[in-house]
Chain A
Amino acid sequence: MKKLQIFKISLSVLLVGLIILPIILCSQSWPTEARDYLFTNAYSETGASNTVSSIYLGYRLMDTLGETLVLLVAITGTMSILINLHNQTIEKIETTLTLTPEKRPKNALRTHLVEVVASKLGPIILLFGFYVMLYGHISPGGGFQGGVIVASAIVFLALATDVKTPIVNSKVLSRIEALAFTSLAIVAIYVAIFTQGIFHNLLNQEQNVSANIIILLNIIIGLKVGTSIAVMCIAMMGGRHDN
């Protein structure tokens, strides 16, 4: 029985290795047509000097819309699984992320350190996340990266339980997320009706192209990603911040 399982596993690993090894070792030279096109035209067509931003918020914005849909589906599934779980347990266990003051001397592993450091670092990381989000069109960064930094800041603020702020409340976060997704959909529909097609660059009606739409979409996507991941993390930490 045991030997058969090891044989099965090694056989499938061998097969997958044989399939994947030529793909990894393939030394075909990378095609440069797309890179050269983007190098000459990306700035004049989208107004963003960060070409990664101009791809995922300019040329391939439909993909980004689909990706935010995937994120929405994932958070819906996670929350529905975890919320049903909390309803099933009959005795309501008060799970806190930190210990109550009278228990602290007995438990040396949980000290004030987590709360102090997290509550001091949280606002700074939040500010840095918004900086990365807002300057995504001219520097490394963008909506997704800034959103993940914002999510980590919110998790830090949730760890610091002494801080009473509405930003760690799951309801507030879910509403921000719904608002961000709705505004993304509204931008898509507006642009589809009033200009040349879905996600045509709507703010650039004049000759000189500006990065306004890239900044707007960076903010929307950053809020969406940040609040989604923060809601999932807070739900996994015990959902203490529901009320």
Chain B
Amino acid sequence: MIIERLLIFILFLTGFIALIGMKNIIKKIVGLNLLNASIVLLFILEAGRSGESAPILDDNIQNIVDPIPQALMLTAIVIGVCVTALSLAMAVRLYKTTGSLDINIIKERIESEN
């Protein structure tokens, strides 16, 4: 149990490092996706311990897992897709305007224009 949690922790930190440490905007967006994925995995892992069978009610089914985290993560995944699409569109816009995806070069070029 501790191994899975440590892996999720490493995934979270990887996403966070990519988000704040990388210079390339696309890598930052990938980091945002990794953060989202690690949180989704954490919820599914935690809820998966509460039962054994899938939460689809049938005649001879017992001991289902808690379906509430699954429903919440369904929402979180769709919101993650929205965030990714919007940030990618902004990255395309920045690239077309400044000609670069590196945040330092973008900052230089915007400052030199003003």
For residue A88, which residues in chain B have a CB less than 8 angstroms away from its CB? Answer: 96
For residue A35, which residues in chain B have a CB less than 8 angstroms away from its CB? Answer: 50-51, 64-68
- In the complex, whether B49 has a CB less than 8 A from a CB of chain A is yes
Say how far A143's CB is from chain B's closest CB, in angstroms: 9
Is the pair A71, B78 in contact by a Cβ cutoff of 8 Å?
A: yes
Contacting residue for A82 out of B66, B83, B89, CB 8 A: B89
B76-104 contacts to A, CB under 8 A, are 77-79, 81-83, 85-86, 88-90, 92-93, 96
Contacting residue for A67 out of B12, B75, B96, CB 8 A: B75
Is the pair A81, B75 in contact by a Cβ cutoff of 8 Å?
A: no
- In the complex, whether A197 has a CB less than 8 A from a CB of chain B is no
Is the pair A232, B55 in contact by a Cβ cutoff of 8 Å?
A: no
Q: Given A13-B16, A82-B89 in contact, is the A60-B71 Cβ separation under 8 Å?
A: yes
- In the complex, whether B47 has a CB less than 8 A from a CB of chain A is yes
Q: How many angstroms from the CA of A229 to the CA of B75 in the assembled complex? A: 15
Cβ-closest chain B residue relative to A39? B64
- State which size class the interface on A falls in: 35 or more
Is the pair B21, A9 in contact by a Cβ cutoff of 8 Å?
A: yes
Is the pair B50, A49 in contact by a Cβ cutoff of 8 Å?
A: no
Q: Given A25-B5, A30-B66, A74-B82 in contact, is the A50-B92 Cβ separation under 8 Å?
A: no
- In the complex, whether B20 has a CB less than 8 A from a CB of chain A is yes
Q: How many angstroms from the CA of A74 to the CA of B79 in the assembled complex? A: 9
- In the complex, whether B17 has a CB less than 8 A from a CB of chain A is yes
A55-80 contacts to B, CB under 8 A, are 55-56, 60, 63-64, 67, 70-71, 73-75, 77-78
Q: How many angstroms from the CA of A236 to the CA of B91 in the assembled complex? A: 11
Contacts A/B (CB < 8 Å), 21 sampled? A9-B17, A9-B20, A17-B9, A17-B13, A24-B12, A32-B50, A39-B64, A49-B57, A51-B64, A52-B70, A56-B74, A56-B75, A70-B78, A71-B78, A74-B83, A77-B89, A78-B89, A81-B90, A82-B93, A85-B92, A236-B85
A residues with CB within 8 A of B? 9, 12-13, 16-17, 20-21, 24-25, 27, 30, 32, 34-35, 38-39, 42-43, 49-52, 55-56, 60, 63-64, 67, 70-71, 73-75, 77-78, 81-82, 85, 88-89, 138-140, 142, 144-145, 225, 229, 232, 236
5 smallest beta-carbon distances between A and B, as pairs? A74-B82, A55-B71, A51-B67, A30-B50, A35-B66
